[in-house]
Structure 1
Amino acid sequence: MSNRSADSRHDTVQERPAAPNVPLRRNRGFQLLWAGSVFAFLGKEIAELAYPLVVLAVTGSPGWAGAFGGVQIFTSLLCGMPAGELADRYDRRRLLLCVEAARALATGSVVVAFLLDAVSLPHLLAVAVVVGAVQPLGGSTRMLLVRSLVPPRQLTAALTQEEVRSHAAATSGPPLGGALYAVAQVVPFVVTACSFAASLVLTLFVRPPAEAPHAPMRAAEREPLLSRMTVGLRALWGHPTLRTGMLFAAAMNTVTAPVILSVVVHLREQGLTSTAIGFTTMALAVGGLAGTVLVAPLHKLLAPGVLMLWLGGTAALLIGSLAAPWGRWWPALALFLLGLGGPSMRVLVDILIFRQVPDEQRGRAGAACMTVFGAGASLGVFLAGQLLEHFSAAVTVLVLASVLAAAWCVGLRTRELRRAKWPEEQEA
């Protein structure tokens, strides 16, 4: 979508005041938001490990332990599009405060249940619904707040700092959650509730530039709710470059989402201990953390479509190589190398959404992307599970690599993707 096209769609909407033009490290609003998100993401990673363990302790059923995550993911997908509509129509800082308050209260209710010796499966599943419902709204509002707090020329650096946060939390959260759970079952939930509360307090002090007054409701905004919620998806789908980029990224997400599951099964087939498996799978998050330093150089060196194709091609090769009998530690190295490209891909997608969709549609466009990606990840995990049920892990990763290779071939033949360019403000 050209800048001229995006600008023309702003004719009837006043522009948001400019973000403060100061070095990123002195941008108080962004750093407060980032610090709050560090607490929130760390708490989320701790809880991701603790909830299944508690469900397993309460029910003794691995099926119900898995159902907790399934309920959370399904609710997130269901609420993705409405979250984008809310993010585009209401104050984003207040919405994020509501999200953090809901997560803190939901987690706090589990702490209270432990203190009263009243932990139950229905209560835990209700918490899964609450946490899953607010997750896409939190992601959309946080993404849009970053855009309002950071000038366009600093956006890559800001998003890279966001990636550092995500991968650091993914690396440290699970082992910390396990250590806290070993102290007492309630401890990880106390820490998680405090983390969400800390994020809420820090967000209170974030002061984004005041939004321009809303123009009178236009004809498009008088459309039915379902039509309004899908505006972002239609905006992305209507532009060949954005449509192709979104679909290619979704294909990558579909294939990479079940990689950890496949590696775990593969290593168990080889007789590795749970400790060795844990260190091996952690390599993906470590690679992602290391990959944050590559974001700026890769974005300067390669056009977005070329970078996307390069990352997709190397990912297909690395996933396929997991089937090779190159020693027990080869999967850890392959996962590390696979993780290196993750931050560059996510920042690439964010830049395209941030810059090439009008501000009044960014929440819905971002939510549409996250919904498509989440649905693809769920489908990928399900299909990989079926493959693992009937075939070896080596066959499964080869099938996954073949699917991504096929998507890469289609992308390579797509002129819009090959010739895509960075938005002008991003180049400034």
Structure 2
Amino acid sequence: MTEHDHPPRPPSPASPRRLRALLPDLTPWRSSRDFRRIWLAGLVTVFGSFLTFVALPLQLKELTGSTLAVGAIGAVELVPLIVCGLYGGALADALDRRKLILWTEAGLGVLTGILLLNTVLPHPMVWPLYVVAALVSACTGLQRPAMQSIVPRIVPHEQLPAAITLNSMRWQLGAIAGPSLAGVIIAFTGLQWAYILDVVTFVVSVGLITGISPSPASHDAGKPSLRGILEGARYAWGRKELLGTYAIDLAAMFFAFPNAIFPFLADDLHAPWALGLMYAAGAVGSLVVSLTSGWVPRIHRHGRMVVFAAAGWGLAMTMAGRMHNVWLVLFFLAVAGGCDMVSGLFRSAMWDQTIPDELRGRLAGIELLSYSVGPQLGQVRAGGMAAFTNVRASVWTGGLACLASVGLLATALPKLMSYDQRTDEHAVRMRRARGAAAVAEAA
């Protein structure tokens, strides 16, 4: 009997186990009704918002033809985001988080309706685009801290890493489908239909959020105040490993976030058809990481992963700027998105597993600044650099600057590099507090 005559060996039982270990953990989705509703609301909102995310800079490009004008979106969004992000964190600790999410979601829908009305005018105006962009940034700043800080209330402590991954996956699905569909919609039906669909998604998400349980403030929560905001800032300043995550992400996004100039990059590569794919490529890379994220709970040195992932983002953006083939550009944009996802997973794990509940909203407001101010300033940097040099140089020089800044910050932040969630005093304290609360609730 030859070796080819032997019957095939049955598959090893270890293989399915290894495969399952890579797949995302769906436990929070199954165990929490409120998490399911807020997850679905976020999914439809992200999908619609990415339609507008593509439509708005493209409309500005068509009306002005200027990279500086498109990059200026980041400038007008910056101050409202800073002010409302910090105040939104204080509001999240002092008010019912569900109500705050609900009203800001409705406000975002109204603002998208204003963009739609401006678009259907015989001669659309430029200034409303900037005004609405600033107001959307303000609403986002008010909403995000509440949206993030409500998750630890509706998901058990040990399920938080899985919940973070699922929320990231929600964003990625919308970020892939939204920009990809936006390109098709705008090309065949016009900008107004992108705005119409975005308004519809806000109507759906408001209905879903209405059905989640109230999330009132802690019994000893004070009124929103500058003193309360400063209390959160002092806590963050005393946690050097948290400051490290903020600084790393801010530097990476400032130097290497070229999304505002994608319409010009697509033209430079003679591939205007690829605009939607450029916006979606990063989310594709992020989704790949999410779908294989079963390894995340086994990593304990979260700070090191944040640094390595940020360096990978910078390297991938450098390569994207150097490529002349549009498919290679898309590939490296996807790699950058995967690296950003890794960084986001471990940043969020550090925050959610170590911050006390009574400070969670205010710290989420500071966190919002770290991962949102960077992209806003990055858009200004990318647009300005493209105007003074060229589009692709703006991309690859930003990637190199990101690599250099991440290296310097890693050297200057030893507590970030040494962080270990198994032994960190804040993580241990939060595990004990959540465990005691669970025992008391069961009794």
- Of 212, 216, 227 in structure 2, the residue corresponding to residue 206 of structure 1 is 212
Q: Which residue of 2 aligns with 1:233?
A: 233
Trace 1:56-135 onto structure 2 (pairs within 5 A). Answer: 62=66, 67=72, 70-111=75-116, 120-135=125-140
Equivalent residue number for residue 356 of structure 1: 354
**Whole-angstrom CA distance in 1 between matches of 2:417 and 2:210:** 43
Amino acid aligned to 2:138: A
Change (3 A) 1:106 1:306: closer
* Structure 2 contact 42–205 (Cα < 8 Å) conserved: yes
**Superposition deviation, residue 355 in structure 1:** 2.5
Which ranges in structure 2 are unaligned for 5 or more consecutive residues? 1-26, 422-426, 436-443
1:136 counterpart residue number: 141
Residues 1:156 and 2:161 aligned together: yes
For 2:192 and 2:303, the matched residues in 1 are separated by: 47
Q: Which residue does 1:420 correspond to in 2?
A: 419
* 1:383-425: CA deviation from partner (whole Å, max 9, x where unpaired): 3434333445347514532442342244146431221012346
Name the CA distance, whole Å, in 2 between partners of 1:314 and 1:115. 42
Q: Do 1:35 and 1:202's aligned partners in 2 also have CA atoms closer than 8 Å?
A: yes
Cα distance in 2, alignment partners of residues 162 and 366 from structure 1 = 15
Which residue identity lines up with residue 197 of structure 1 in the other structure? V
Greater mean alpha carbon deviation, residues 117-126 or residues 129-138: 117-126
Mapped to 2, the partners of 1:116 and 1:384 lie a distance apart of 30
Q: 1:50 aligns with which of 50, 55, 66?
A: 55
Change (3 A) 1:257 1:66: closer
Q: In the aligned structure 2, how far is the partner of 1:157 from the partner of 1:331? A: 31
Q: Which amino acid aligns with 2:406?
A: A
Deviation at 1:257, TM superposition (A): 1.6
Note the 1:259-408 alignment, pairs <5 A: 260=259, 268-269=267-268, 271-276=269-274, 278-280=276-278, 282-322=280-320, 324=322, 328-392=326-390, 393-394=392-393, 397-398=396-397, 400-408=399-407
Q: Tell me, in whole angstroms, the C-alpha distance in 2 between the residues paired with 1:343 and 1:187.
A: 30
| Cα gap change, 1:43 to 1:230, in 2 (>3 Å) | farther
Contact 1:102 1:130 in 2 (8 A): no
Q: For the structure 1 residues 299 and 184, does the alpha-carbon distance in structure 2 shift closer, same or farther, using more than 3 Å as the test?
A: same
Which is further off, 106-115 or 43-52? 106-115
Shift of 1:255: 2.8
The reply to whether residue 190 of structure 1 matches residue 196 of structure 2 is yes
Change (3 A) 1:90 1:52: same
TM superposition score normalised by structure 1: 0.81
The CA deviation string for residues 331-379 of structure 1, in whole angstroms up to 9 with x for no partner, is 2222222211222211222222223222122111111122133333333
- CA 1:335–1:299: 2 relative to 1, 3 Å: farther
Task: Give the whole-Å Cα distance in 1 for the aligned partners of 2:135 and 2:343.
Answer: 29
Instruction: Report the secondary structure of 1:135's partner residue.
Output: helix
Q: CA deviation at 1:90?
A: 0.7
Please tell me the residue identity of whatever aligns with 1:417. Answer: L
**Letter aligned with residue 40 of structure 1:** T
Change (3 A) 1:82 1:413: closer
User: 1:166 — aligned with what?
Assistant: 171
Q: Which residue of 1 aligns with 2:410?
A: 411
Which AA in structure 2 matches 1:144?
S
User: Match of 2:110, as an amino acid?
Assistant: L
SS at match of 1:322: helix
The size of the alignment, in residue pairs, is 398
Distance verdict in 2 for CA 1:130–1:321, change over 3 Å: closer
Report the residue type matching 2:173 in the other structure.
A
In the superposition, relative to structure 1, how do residues 68 and 251 fare at CA in structure 2: closer, same or farther (>3 Å)? Answer: closer
What is the alpha-carbon root mean square deviation over aligned residues? 3.3
Structure-1 separation of matches of 2:57 and 2:303:
39
1:31 is matched with which residue: 29, 36, 48? Answer: 36
Matched residue SS, 2:353? helix
Counterpart CA distance in 1 for 2:114 and 2:103 is 16
Q: Counterpart of 2:365 in structure 1: which amino acid?
A: A
Equivalent pair of 1:280/1:329 in contact (CA under 8 Å): no
- Which residue identity lines up with residue 81 of structure 2 in the other structure? S
Deviates more, 1:25-34 or 1:76-85: 76-85
Contact between 2:71 and 2:379, CA under 8 Å: does it hold in 1? no
Measured in 2, the distance between the counterparts of 1:126 and 1:414 equals: 38
Note the alpha carbon deviations across 1:268-304, whole angstroms, 9 max, x for none: 54x4321245435532221111111344414413511
Structure 1, gaps ≥5 residues long: 1-21
Are 1:298 and 1:307, in contact at CA under 8 Å, matched by a contact in 2? no
Give the TM-score, by structure 2 length: 0.78
Q: Percent identity?
A: 22
